[in-house]
Structure 1
Amino acid sequence: MTTVEIEYCVPCGMLDRAQNLQRALLSEYGERLDSVALVTGDSGVFEVRADGEAVFDKEEDEYDEDAISESIGDYV
């Protein structure tokens, strides 16, 4: 099964975005995911990892919830 981590910047107020993505992934993949963990960070971070592999980094990619979900699907 797949483990997903969503690391988000606490001081930047990215909790809502992280929770929305977490909810979307759980709705899409449900029991096929081992976990979708929210990981606190700072310095503007918003990264998504599946089984330790980077799937999304806001420094490199434009935020698109559907595209991130599709990328996670490659690991499920």
Structure 2
Amino acid sequence: MNPRLEINYCTQCRWLLRAAWMAQEILTTFETEMGEVALVPGTGGVFDVRLNGELIYSRKEAGRFPEAKELKQLIRDRIAPDKPLGHSDRKEPV
């Protein structure tokens, strides 16, 4: 089964462009690994990201929007742990 990512965004807050940009980043990074990215309109300041139904990021819980780099890392760790992310990869501690 190919992974399905959902980005639930607030229409009242006009966060569609942010959600669409994030979807583009994910689809570009995970061209062969990702099965689907869905944009799910919501209300009440929501910006949640779910992978195969599992909540992997919540703007309300984190108190901020996700950075593309961290979202890519969260997704990679679940669907393609060996995939290098180039400049978006974590820096190893020295």
Identity level (%): 32
Q: TM-score, normalised by structure 2?
A: 0.77
Q: Determine which structure has the larger strand proportion and give its number.
A: 1
Report the equivalent of 2:69: 66
User: Given the two structures, how large is their TM-score scaled by the length of structure 1?
Assistant: 0.93
Higher relative contact order (CA 8 A, sep 6+): 1
Counterparts of residues 1-76 of structure 1 (less than 5 Å): 1-61=2-62, 62-63=64-65, 64-76=67-79
Work out which of the two has the higher radius of gyration on C-alpha atoms and give 1 or 2.
Answer: 2
Identify unmatched segments of 5+ residues in structure 2.
Answer: 80-94
Letter in 1 for 2:35: D
Q: Which moved more, 1:65-74 or 1:47-56?
A: 65-74
Cα distance in 2 between the residues matched to 1:74 and 1:4: 14
Aligned mates of 1:38, 1:23 — CA distance in 2 = 11
Listed one character per residue, the Cα deviations across residues 5-39 of structure 1 (whole Å, up to 9, x for unaligned) are 00000110000100010000000001211100000
The residue type paired with residue 78 of structure 2 is: Y
RMSD: 0.9
How many corresponding residue pairs? 76
Structure 1: 5+ residue stretches without partners: none
